[in-house]
Structure 1
Amino acid sequence: MALSGSAVLAIWNGIKPEAEDEFVSWHVREHIPERVGLPGFRRGRRYVAVSGHPKYFNFYETDDTAVLSSPTYVERLNAPTSWTRSVVSNFTDTSRTVCAVSFTHGLGDGAAIMTLQLSTTLPREVFARNLDELSSRLMAEPGIIGAHLLEGDANAGGQATAEKALRDRPDETASWILLIEGVDAERLAALDHDGLLSDALAAAGASADLRKGLYSLQYSLAQNQVATTLA
């Protein structure tokens, strides 16, 4: 469906092989419910790679970017649970970006998502307009059900926290992120047959250093589901 709220926290990460089972359990049993239960968080989703790197992609939809620097959220980041400490210390290749939603299109949720980390030399308004036009064309393709453009905020989420200190190196960030949802990974992969999507992104003003991943949905949790569970 169209994204809920006007901001997204977008995260990619790998995990050391010996900690993967623990990561999968922790993420769905503790971490995502904990985050989605915080004020201003609306939904969390986790995906696993069909192709691309790192292995996992997850994101949280929030009311606005202020939620992601709020005292309540920062307090949580500075008081990780013992399970969080155990798991996050095994993260690898982490990318974490606070984003404003530039546009969001779609109805319903896709079983798979293509992630495109982009940069450009164009003015932000021009680039966003070009990608909106491209996304409208993509949405007309069979099996494509959503397209969302996120603009990274380089000044948000950069503060040092206890949780961030657990990771093996400073987090990477993305300037722009285009998310394309589809009914399955095969439909999404077909968008870039013979490099057609890459060429279209270049024509829209995307620089050559784009990073693409194709991911399958593993878990999704909305704020009202957490509230129902706790009631």
Structure 2
Amino acid sequence: MAAAILALWNDYPADLAEEYASWHTFEHVPERLTVPGMEAARRYVSASQVETYFTLYDLEDISVIEHPAYIDLVRNPTPWSLKMRRNFSKVLRIPGKIAATGGKGIGGAANVQAYSVNRGKAQASVRALETLLYHLVTQSRLISFRVALAEPNQIYEVFSQDEKTDPDTVNVVVIAEGESVQSLVAVQNILTEQIQTTLEPQKILRNDLFTMLISYRGDEFPKDRTKIDTTRVSRRETDFTDPRPIRSYISP
């Protein structure tokens, strides 16, 4: 079971959403999953803002993001990755250690909340929050949940992050999973109220409902980034009335 997560939020221009989806699906996440200790990943899109995305990686432990293979991906992007990086905005990246979990399974949607919380109160607040979230699971209002604690203002070489917080705080990420966005809409207000009452945050970093687009297992991909197959035809360039572009990708 993962001991840590890497949570990332970003916006991307709507007119480039098709290329973003292809790149993220066929190159970006598969490359990340070549890193030892990267166990799984999921990509989400906001239920309210199409250009807002959330990506969640399961890590064997927090040191995975310091592995030379991961650093190589960050510092030596492919030409496609370098091109795609130019259009990211509103980036928030939080690597954190799992502090609480409950329930079973992966839902079709998630309410993801992130807060800056007083460091001295964080551990006790998370324990209280775990009890509250577990109660919602026993009521069948949530499928599962995870809570992670993270150091604030962690440096990321690729993008600057606007959400600077007090160094005497910690970041708390809450991932509450449900069957669908509709099922989470019914519980979001009470969930948010309980989380904020329990954590007493100094700053709200994120609170959004997401639909899951795709889930990946780390063992689905080779452990050598050079063997990731990124050869794809854009949907915009493919004429589905003519089978030849599709046939060209099928081995004889």
TM range (shorter): 0.7 to 0.9
In the other structure, the counterpart of 1:145 is 143
Conserved? CA contact 2:122–2:199, under 8 Å: no
Matched, 1:109 2:109: no
Q: CA deviation at 1:52?
A: 6.2
The runs of 5 or more residues in structure 1 that have no matched partner are none
Q: Is the 8 A contact 1:52 1:212 kept in 2?
A: no
Which of 190, 201, 225 is the matching residue for 1:196? 190
Aligned to 2:9: 12
Structure 2 counterpart of 1:77, which letter? V
TM-score (norm 2): 0.79
Q: Structure 2 vs 1, CA of residues 225 and 171 (structure 1 numbering), >3 Å: closer, same or farther? A: farther
Shift of 1:184: 0.6
Query: 206, 215, 227: which one pairs with 1:220?
Result: 215
The offset of 1:172, in angstroms, is 4.1
Q: Which has the larger radius of gyration?
A: 2
Check the 8 A contact 1:119/1:206 in 2, yes or no: no
Are residues 206 and 8 of structure 1, via their aligned partners in 2, closer, same or farther at CA, if it must alter by over 3 Å?
same
State the structure with bigger RCO (CA 8 A, min sep 6), 1 or 2: 1
Alpha-carbon distance in 2 for matches of 1:138, 1:46: 24
Instruction: Give the TM-score, by structure 1 length.
Output: 0.85
Cα RMSD, aligned residues only = 2.3
Secondary structure of the 2:100 match is strand
Q: CA deviation at 1:155?
A: 6.8
Of 62, 65, 84 in structure 2, the residue corresponding to residue 65 of structure 1 is: 62
SS in 2 for 1:125: helix
Deviations along 1:4-46, one digit per CA (max 9) or x if unpaired, are 3111110000012332211100000111111112111000100
Instruction: Check 1:80–1:72 CA distance in 2 against 1; reply closer, same or farther (3 A cut).
Output: same
Q: Which blocks of at least 5 consecutive residues in structure 2 are unaligned?
A: 165-169, 228-252
Q: CA deviation at 1:159?
A: 5.0
